Amino acid sequence: MKKSLLNYCGLLGIVAFLSYTAAVVFSPMAYPGYDWMAQAVSNLSAANAPSLSLWNQLSSLYDVCTSSLQCW
């Protein structure tokens, strides 16, 4: 039981990492003029950002996985 719980948490962590990475890599494509050297990543998910919709789609698994991990 203990090992399967650890495996489950590890899998959630990997999925969360991949989801967040996808959001960071692909969301700038939906944000014209975004300069990763001058702007924070959080600008991609700001309320008025043109990339917000794409960010929400790509990071949805991140949100689910991190919420599940916080319950334990």
pLDDT digits (tens, 9 = 90+) for 43-65: 999 999 999 999 999 999 998 88
* pLDDT reported for residue 5: 77
CA 61 vs CA 1, 57, 65: distances in Å = 25, 8, 6
* pLDDT reported for residue 45: 96
The full set of domain ranges for the chain reads: 1-31+51-72
Residues 28-50 have a mean pLDDT of: 96
Percent above pLDDT 90 for the chain = 68
Token pair for 16: 């969360």
Mean of the per-residue pLDDT values of the chain:
90
Closest by CA to 25, choosing from 34, 38, 15, is: 34
